[in-house]
Structure 1
Amino acid sequence: MFRPGSPLPRTGSAHGGGADADAGTAAGAESVRRGQPRPEAEPDTRRPGAAERMRTLVESNASASLVIPGTDLGDPQWPGQGCCEARAVTGEGDVLLLVPAGSPAARAAAHARDGDLAAVMEITDVAPVAVPHRIRGRAEVAGWLTPVSGGERTACDRLLAERHPSGPFPGAAWTPLRLEVGEGWIGDLRGEGHVEPDEFAAASPDPLARHEAGLLQHLAAAHDDLLRGLCSLLGERQRACGAWEAVVPVALDRFGLRVRFRADGQSFDALFDFPRPVRNASGLRHAIRALFEAGSAP
């Protein structure tokens, strides 16, 4: 499976240099780590693993497309047909995809021998706020594509409808396909990682993923003062607090909030860890409040 290089443009100078800073917890830890995020070497219970991050991205609304070797997915008769209009993950860890009926992807799956059609789903994650270098990560899920039919169709339609209550709805205009996961790769703000099928099936998506976009957009639009207050938790870098032209929240998960500080074409990310992983929206409200209180403390 093809895996590109670093999936993220590095923030910073015109040559792509930059720095990433981890700025401790809401209690005010002030360690600052410079350099780009490092690939994970060992599991860390204080950070989401590669399988959790990939599962979160697969189940998100991030844009995704299919690549099927030997199939022309650029047919002008089917604009966008290489896209997966909806997707969901089964209990066994297979990925269900909804594609236009009659599209090259649907036809290729229908005419392939059972389980013989190799495919790669490519996902691009874009920050929901306006900020330079908005691509936060990319993932690739490689496996084997088969059409969903027979007794499985009803359960598949139900799962897709639950995941996408606003549509598109399974029906004559759409064909559900099943992607049996063979391997996966993710490269994002947390680092890079390979994911095995059993790891993907066993992982759970981040419980805050459905709240992330709305909260980041709200913070960026209405709470610039609170975001700038977090600068006081940056240790040696807090001396430059008044110089930042923009302070923008770029990512959120159950472990913490990532904020991008930018001035004069230079930027760096600071990761503010929550005191403990957050499980739900109520816990998120308490964690965010504690974080901003720490930033505004004298």
Structure 2
Amino acid sequence: MPSAAERTRTLVQSTCSAVLLVPGAAATRPDQLMPEARSVGPDGEVFLVFPADSPAVRAATHAQDDELPAVLELTDVAPVSVPSRIRGRAWISGWVTCVPGVTEPGRMMVRLEVGEASVDDLWGAEDVEPEEFTRAKPDPLVGHEAELLQHLHAGHGDQVLGLYALLGERAEDARRAGDRAVPLALDRFGLRVRFTRAGSGAPTDRSFDARFEFPDPVRDVVGLRRAMHRLFEAAGE
């Protein structure tokens, strides 16, 4: 399974929503705290780009040489329609400072020095040390995951549903769950599918997730296609 640090790093470098919470900006509209771009530097610092007049930039500018505490909150929502769509959240707390002169006019980059981090997702809740975050790499499929899940859901729904044949003792539970099997999450180690009763408003206790591991971790989309083909073949035997 991916480590907590890798999962956190993947969320930071994904397209999931994020807000930077800074002192004095509690009354600010959430959209004003959302960075337009984010990246991770070689020393594990998180770089965020905001409009130059945003509350985050004003607060960091006003703090000047003082350390301004802040928390980057990330919310990961499944890119397909499924009960309980929030897949996870991560929090990175530290101190922000402005990095002038590296973005186009009207924009400002701020640097978030990581003090501590945590993640609470489909794998569970864990803390992440700054050193672990720095060393971690994002999942190689992070830039394609949303598109791939949507493609699996729209174009290979029957094959995804057929994966219940690989569940052993839980295969009958999946078969009785109805005609809905939604690909929920994808990483280099495997695919997670949510089996649930068809129809809106189905109780979430009638749903369950199943994880289908790849024989070997995949490195790219080409490797993923081979791994998925092998999964579908195994389910059809």
**TM-score using structure 2 length:** 0.93
Larger helix fraction of residues = 2
Equivalent of residue 178 in structure 2, options 236, 244, 248? 244
- Determine the structure 1 residue equivalent to 2:77: 126
Equivalent of residue 260 in structure 1, options 189, 194, 203? 194
Question: Larger RCO: Structure 1 or Structure 2 (Cα < 8 Å, ≥ 6 residues apart)?
Answer: 1
For each residue in 1:39-94, what CA deviation from the matched residue of structure 2 results, as whole angstroms up to 9, or x when unmatched?
xxxxxxxx10000000000011110001112x124346xx7211111101111110
- Determine the structure 2 residue equivalent to 1:59: 13
Equivalent of residue 106 in structure 2, options 149, 173, 192? 173
Classify the secondary structure of the residue corresponding to 2:33: coil
Q: How far apart, CA to CA, are the structure 1 residues paired with 2:167 and 2:129?
A: 36
The runs of 5 or more residues in structure 2 that have no matched partner are none
What letter matches 2:158 in structure 1?
D
What letter matches 1:205 in structure 2?
P
| Corresponding position: 1:185 with 2:118 | yes
Indicate the percent of aligned positions where both proteins have the same amino acid: 54
Answer whether contact 2:177 2:207 (CA < 8 A) is retained: no
Equivalent of residue 205 in structure 1, options 124, 135, 138? 138
**TM-score using structure 1 length:** 0.74
- Determine the structure 1 residue equivalent to 2:27: 74
Answer whether contact 2:161 2:179 (CA < 8 A) is retained: no
- Determine the structure 2 residue equivalent to 1:291: 231
| Corresponding position: 1:227 with 2:160 | yes
Query: What is the CA distance between 1:115 and its match in structure 2?
Result: 4.9
In structure 2, do the counterparts of structure 1 residues 179 and 243 end up closer, same or farther at CA, with 3 Å as the change threshold? closer
Classify the secondary structure of the residue corresponding to 2:161: helix
The runs of 5 or more residues in structure 1 that have no matched partner are 1-46, 155-169
Query: What is the CA distance between 1:114 and its match in structure 2?
Result: 2.1
In structure 2, do the counterparts of structure 1 residues 51 and 75 end up closer, same or farther at CA, with 3 Å as the change threshold? closer
Q: How far apart, CA to CA, are the structure 2 residues paired with 1:271 and 1:80?
A: 34
Structure 1 runs (4+) greater than 4 angstroms displaced: none
Q: How far apart, CA to CA, are the structure 1 residues paired with 2:130 and 2:176?
A: 47
Q: How far apart, CA to CA, are the structure 2 residues paired with 1:279 and 1:233?
A: 24
| Corresponding position: 1:91 with 2:91 | no
For each residue in 1:73-121, what CA deviation from the matched residue of structure 2 results, as whole angstroms up to 9, or x when unmatched?
4346xx7211111101111110000112112211110111425100000
Answer whether contact 1:73 1:104 (CA < 8 A) is retained: no
Q: How far apart, CA to CA, are the structure 2 residues paired with 1:281 and 1:243?
A: 30
Q: How far apart, CA to CA, are the structure 2 residues paired with 1:228 and 1:146?
A: 49
Q: How far apart, CA to CA, are the structure 1 residues paired with 2:9 and 2:157?
A: 31
How many residue pairs align between the two structures? 230
Q: How far apart, CA to CA, are the structure 2 residues paired with 1:256 and 1:283?
A: 12
